Every structure is written in C-alpha cells, then in structure tokens.
Amino acid sequence: MTIQASIIGGSGYVGGELLRLLSYHPQMKISKVYSKNYAGKYVHSVHPNLRSILDKTFTNENIKDIVETSDITFFALPHGQSSLIIPHLPYDNSKIVDIGADFRLKRTEDYERWYHFTHPAPSLLEKSVYGLPEINKEQISKSCLVAVPGCIAACAILSLLPLAINGLIDKVVVDAKVGSSGSGSKPSSATHFSERYNVVRIYKPAGHRHTAEIIQVLSALSGKNINVGISVHAVNMVRGLETTSHVMTERTVDIKDLWRMYRQYYAGKPFVRIIRDIRGKNKYPDPKFTFGSNYADVGFEVDTDSGRILAIGALDNLVKGAAGNAVQCANIMLGLREEEGLLSPPIYPA
C-alpha cells in the first residue's frame, strides 16, 4: 500500500527538503504540493535539484480537499498561518505534521509573550503533540496533529535532555551558530551574499522565540522551572546548526556519569549519536558530520574550573531540524518504522 503524502507550503527550503526526502521514501508517494505563489509552475523551477526526479507542478487547489485525500499532510508555512487553516480542517480524521511554530507551545500566554501573537485556536494546543520522537514517540504515534520543533530548540533539547532528566540543569545559556538556510529562501539585504559571507553575526542575542520551547520541554522533563537564555549567531555556511549549551552548576559531575546518562537515554534511538572522542577528526558534535542527514549528534564536557557542564549539539537544520524530523514523526504516526526513508548517511566531506 502506498501512502499519499502532501505538502502545504512547498516552495520554501523546508518544503523542498520534504520533497527531497519523500521522493525516495520507500512507502510514501508525493501527492499534492501546494503553493499559492507558484501554482502551475514546475516544482523543479523552484527546487532545481529535483529536475528529472520529481515531475510535478505546484497546485493551489483547496487545502481541505488536499488534506482529505492525503494519508499525511505536511504544513511548511510561515509562522501564524497554519493556526488559521488547520482548525477548519477535519484534523481529527487526518494526520497532520506542522513544521511551523503554531502548535508547539502549550500555553497561549507563551504565544503572547514570545510571538506577540494571540493564538486563534487555543483548544488545538491541547490536542497537538510536540514532535520530538526522542521524547514522546508514543504520544506521536497516537496523534493526528504533530508540531515539529524549531531547529535550535531541537538541537539544544536533544543535547541537554539527559542532563535535564537527571536534574542537573537549573540555568543554561545556549549559544547557537546557524547556517543561512535557516532564514529561508526570500532574499533580503541581510542575506545578500556579499553581506552574509564571512560573518559571525549575533542576530538574536536574547529573546529568541525558540527559548519558549526549550523552557517548556526541559522544565517538564526535569520537573522544575529551568532558566534558559539563548544567543543566536549567523555563521558562514548554508546548512548546519550547532548549539553549545553552558549549564551553570556548582555540582561536581564526572565524565563517566555523563557517558552513562547519555548512553542510557539514547539507547535504541536511531538518530542520535553520542560524540566524544579524545582524538581524531570528530571529538565533539559538528554539523559538518551530519550534513544532509537526519542525525543529531550530541556530546558533553565538564569545566570544573568555571562550574559548567557543556552540552554540545549539532544537526542539519533542514533535516533533523525540520523536514527530516517531520518525516520521522509521520512514519511514527503512520505505523511505519521510525527510520523509513531517512537512513541515507551524512554527506562528507561537504
């Protein structure tokens, strides 16, 4: 049986990445690719990598019809749009994976605070499930509406999870470095090549919206309110995301204990790799080694002198940070093997 998969918002980089992944998914078939702006145009005119691979045009037919005739529908729309659409769909009888921010947070006040946005469908916030299978695979498998995490949140949470669960985090500073693809496909003066090349640009030193997700998830997991500060830097690459999370702690923690916590937590989780080598090419997580893949690499270090545990995360922001994680969630919702269609290794060197 072939699963019909559709995409609402197929012209952006996340939409393109979904198409790339689904085009060789062994059990899903791409049904409809919705785009208001590009309706009628060839998909490969926007995503030239897919030329001769995906012979489809964008459609702007009724979204409700698309959802009703698809087994799974991915939403990859700008923030604030899916929450205007999804409440009017037969979501209870469908399977929807939303890659935007609209259903990630549980409390409407958090949308007001972090997004300056009055949520139009608060009741759906209870129904939706946060789509990080490394935390809540079971819930995802039963859900009809899954909200895929933000890329920085996914990276920070995955690297910090074992520490949170073991009660080691009270206050953490997440210092993130991201490639340009995270800011989308629309040109602007900030993303003009001559302006963006060679930067280390701290574009969001405080108040980044993903903070809300990290607080929500880590606090829930550790059973206490965790203080989280994020600072995000644009660096000179297209793909990839790294988070160095500085956990402030007076406690003395042993590297062996950390190994145990991480190993224990991530046993059997197919897409998380623990990276901590004394020598060699890859001592700590580095997005270079996750390029184009659904792997999230996590690692840790202890700095006794300054009273820090470091949790380091690296992933491909468009794959495990967005489209790949979405497909992983979809696999789970559809009763497939979690890894289906997602096992191609990272591209190296890249």
**Only segment of 81-89, 97-105, 172-180, 324-332 that touches a second copy (CB under 8 A):** 172-180
CB closer to a second copy out of 15 and 100? 15
Contact with a second copy (CB under 8 A) among 59, 159, 211, 325:
211
State the minimum distance, in angstroms, from the CB of residue 156 to a second copy.
13
151 in catalytic set: yes
* Residue among 348, 198, 342 at smallest CA distance from 282: 348
**Only segment of 63-71, 80-88, 91-99, 303-311 that touches a second copy (CB under 8 A):** 303-311
- Residues 22-61 contacting a second copy, CB under 8 A: 23-24, 45-54
Alpha carbon distance 50, 58 (integer Å): 13
Contacts with 179 (C-beta within 8 Å, 6 or more apart), sequence order? 235, 237, 238, 239, 240, 241, 287, 317
- Residues 221-280 contacting a second copy, CB under 8 A: 227-231, 233, 235-240, 242, 244, 246, 248, 273, 275, 280
DSSP 46-109: H-GGGTTT---B-B-S-HHHHHHT-SEEEE---TTSHHHHGGGS-GGGS-EEE-SSTTT-S-HH
State the minimum distance, in angstroms, from the CB of residue 329 to a second copy.
21
- For residue 349, cis peptide bond before it (omega within 30 degrees of 0): yes
State the minimum distance, in angstroms, from the CB of residue 46 to a second copy.
7
Contact with a second copy (CB under 8 A) among 14, 18, 20, 258:
20
Contact 43, 56 (CB under 8 A): yes
* DSSP-based three-state secondary structure for 313: strand
**Only segment of 88-96, 121-129, 137-145, 283-291 that touches a second copy (CB under 8 A):** 283-291
Enzyme catalytic residues: 151
